[in-house]
């Protein structure tokens, strides 16, 4: 009986040691897994510096932010601002025209390093894109022909209104339920110049567009269009980065603050808008 009891005690001790060993191994394993699941090191800034080039994605028809002049050269407020910022980063700037309708995809796949061209910060976009500090304010305005009888959004009943595909103007228009209930149709365009040409041809009756672009465009054709007092709200422009590229975003924010402090942004703004409208 004593021998049986002793054997049983030995067996219990062996099993206890085995269970404790397994538990310890499990904990260690969990620690390893947690380590593997932790956020990978953010090398976004180092990658840009190693590559020696910073690729900016833009819509090259969005004056005065980024567009082609008569000689085909890319010019604009955002172009000059990006050049000044990237120069301080110590690498070369490369500007790459992209399909604005799939700009987020171009960013996520690594085709470009950022979206920088009158890119409005919206709650929907903030779910997919990491934005810089805002640097410019903007409104979504309504432009009609000079002889139009439309005076406000309330006159949109049974009208055809135009906007660029996947633009802030389109999103603002679609978010206004009262307008959407009475509109006849929204016509979407790859670029805003196409929308303005269609309005001149009588195929649409109003355009919802960024104020900076809309006012610049119609200034080239005095007497053809008018801007309504009514609008679809205000918003800010920011630079869009991949969600994981926090180090790169932080460095660009830092450089932009330095450019504001030394007067560079004010000088660029005055050249394009006649005054300093950069957010401080």
Which residues, at least 6 apart from 185, have a Cβ–Cβ distance to it below 8 Å? 160, 161
pLDDT, average across residues 102-113: 97
Place of tokens 């206004």: 176
Instruction: Give the model's confidence band at 121: pLDDT under 50 very low, under 70 low, under 90 confident, else very high.
Output: very high
Cis peptide before 64 (omega within 30 of 0): yes
Instruction: Give the model's confidence band at 40: pLDDT under 50 very low, under 70 low, under 90 confident, else very high.
Output: confident
Which residues, at least 6 apart from 165, have a Cβ–Cβ distance to it below 8 Å? 100, 101, 188, 189, 190
pLDDT digits (tens, 9 = 90+) for 216-227: 999 999 999 999
Does the structure show a pLDDT above 70 at 79?
A: yes
pLDDT for 33: 44
pLDDT digits (tens, 9 = 90+) for 195-206: 999 999 999 999
Helices within the chain (DSSP H only): 2-37, 44-51, 77-89, 103-108, 168-175, 177-182, 192-200, 211-219, 246-261, 264-273
Vertex 242 angle, CA 241 and 245, to 5°:
85
Contact between 189 and 165 (Cβ < 8 Å):
yes
In three-state secondary structure terms, 246 is helix
More confident residue, 188 or 1: 188
Domains of the chain: 44-135+238-273 (3.40.190.10), 139-235 (3.40.190.10)
| Nearest of 39, 82, 26, 92 to residue 268 by alpha carbon | 82
pTM for the model stands at 0.78
pLDDT digits (tens, 9 = 90+) for 222-272: 999 999 999 999 999 999 999 999 999 999 999 999 999 999 999 999 999
Burial of 148 (0-12, 13-18, 19+ CB in 10 A): middle
């Amino acid at each position: 009986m004593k021998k049986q009891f002793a054997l049983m005690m030995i067996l219990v001790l062996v099993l206890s040691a085995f269970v404790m060993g397994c538990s310890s191994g499990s904990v260690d394993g969990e620690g390893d897994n947690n380590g593997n699941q932790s956020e990978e090191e953010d090398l976004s800034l180092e990658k840009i510096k190693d590559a020696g080039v910073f690729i900016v994605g833009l819509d090259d028809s969005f004056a005065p932010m980024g567009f082609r002049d008569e000689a085909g050269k890319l010019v604009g407020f955002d172009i000059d601002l990006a050049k000044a910022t990237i120069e301080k980063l110590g690498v070369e700037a490369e500007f790459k025209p992209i399909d604005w309708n799939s700009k987020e995809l171009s960013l996520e796949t690594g085709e470009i390093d950022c979206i920088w061209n009158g890119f409005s910060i919206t709650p929907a976009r903030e779910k997919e894109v990491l934005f810089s500090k805002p640097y410019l304010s903007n409104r979504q305005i309504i432009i009609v022909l000079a002889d139009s009888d439309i005076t406000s959004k309330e006159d949109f009943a049974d009208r055809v209104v135009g906007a660029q595909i996947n633009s802030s103007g389109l999103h603002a228009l679609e978010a206004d339920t009262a307008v959407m209930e009475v509109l006849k149709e929204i016509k979407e365009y790859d670029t805003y110049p196409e929308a303005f040409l269609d309005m001149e041809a009588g195929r649409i009756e109003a355009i919802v567009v960024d104020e900076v672009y809309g006012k610049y465009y119609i200034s080239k054709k005095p007497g053809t269009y008018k801007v309504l007092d009514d609008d679809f709200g205000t918003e800010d422009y920011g630079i869009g980065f991949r969600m994981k590229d926090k180090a790169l975003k932080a460095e660009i924010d830092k450089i932009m603050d330095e450019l504001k402090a030394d007067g560079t942004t004010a000088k660029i703004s005055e050249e394009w808008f006649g005054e300093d409208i950069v957010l401080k």
